Amino acid sequence: MLDKFRDKSREGLYNNLKNIGVNCELAERGIRADKLQNPWHRKSLGVIKINSDSSIEFINIIKKDRSKDSPPRWWYYFAVPDESMQSDTNQIKVRSIRKKTFPLFGKVKSIEWKHNNYSENLSSELTRGTDINSLAMDIGDVKIESINKDFSGYKFTGYTIEIERKTLKDWGDNKKISLDINQWKTLNKIANLCLEFN
């Protein structure tokens, strides 16, 4: 009975990835990697480990429960380890801005990439990628950042590609993301660009 009410966003993405040919597995619950980008007021729904040849090593799915003032929210973190990163002093931060024909309810017409001082080259490369911009238009807000940090006993050095669903239609069952093979390749392209611009 309880399983009926359990959030199955992780299983949904796992089945999606398997269906497009990605070799992956559901990691055991409670492993250290589920602490990645997981502050105390959110919870991890678990990790998907990627076994295919990919710069993305795992995906951590994070949820913030509904409150009286806001609906629930989901974040998908695609983890790209890079042990060669020396420090987080020159931290890379880039995020997509979805430009709409009409605020809130309008159709997304274009993508702009907002970046900090250390991310201009990466941002320019993302802007030139029509496949990357299409991904951000179709799937939700994208945020990329470099990390060299301890998350409550789990040290991660590398990059995360964050996808968050924000539009009103994304609540309910549409909280789940569903990737096609080209979108998966595009996420790997972003991961490789991060490593290239380190």
User: How many residues are listed for the chain in this entry?
Assistant: 198
126 pLDDT band (50/70/90 cuts)? Answer: very high
For 166-190, how does the pLDDT look when each residue is reduced to its tens digit (9 = 90+)?
A: 544 444 445 578 899 999 999 999 9
Question: CA of 190: how far to CAs of 16, 128, 146, 184, in Å?
Answer: 20, 12, 13, 10
Q: Would you say residue 113 has pLDDT above 90?
A: yes
DSSP 55: S
Q: In one letter, which amino acid is 40?
A: W
Q: 137 — phi, psi (to 5°)?
A: -70, -40
Query: Which pLDDT score is estimated for 1?
Result: 47
